[in-house]
Amino acid sequence: MKPLTAKIAYKPVGLALSLVAGALASVVSRRLWRLFSNEDSLPDADDVDVDWFELLSGAALEAAVFAVAKATAARLESAGIRRAIRNEEERGEPT
């Protein structure tokens, strides 16, 4: 893959990976919350009946899962582009 082609492919690939990572993070955070709290959904910040500890615990769990998903997607994206460029250089194709 030529460097210009890699730059052009970087944005759509990144967008697709981000969408998939966000969807997976949402599922994982809901399942983890269900495992820890025996409730089906994360607490809603607008619900005044939810105590602070439960609200902040849910927010911290969700943020941690999303941060891991975001970092994973970024690493996969850059590694994939780098691998594509390196494979073409090894084959001796002009860049």
Q: Is the pLDDT of residue 6 over 60?
A: yes
Residue 46 lies in a domain: yes
What is the extent of the structural domain holding 71? 3-90
Question: Does any domain span residue 95?
Answer: no
pLDDT (mean) for 46-55 = 94
Q: Which residue has the tokens 């619900």?
A: 47
Predicted TM-score of the model (pTM): 0.77
What is the number of domains present in the chain?
1
Mean pLDDT estimate for the chain: 86
The verdict on residue 24 lying in a domain is yes
pLDDT at position 84: 73
Contact indicator for 80, 13 with CB cutoff of 8 Å: yes
Distance CA 80, CA 46 (A): 41
| Higher pLDDT, residue 52 or 87 | 52
Q: What dihedral do alpha carbons 30, 24, 70, 10 form, nearest 10°?
A: -160
The burial class, CB within 10 Å (0-12 / 13-18 / 19+), for 49 is exposed
48 pLDDT more than 70 = yes
Q: Residue 19: in which H helix or E strand, if any?
A: helix 3-37
Mean pLDDT value of segment 4-25: 83
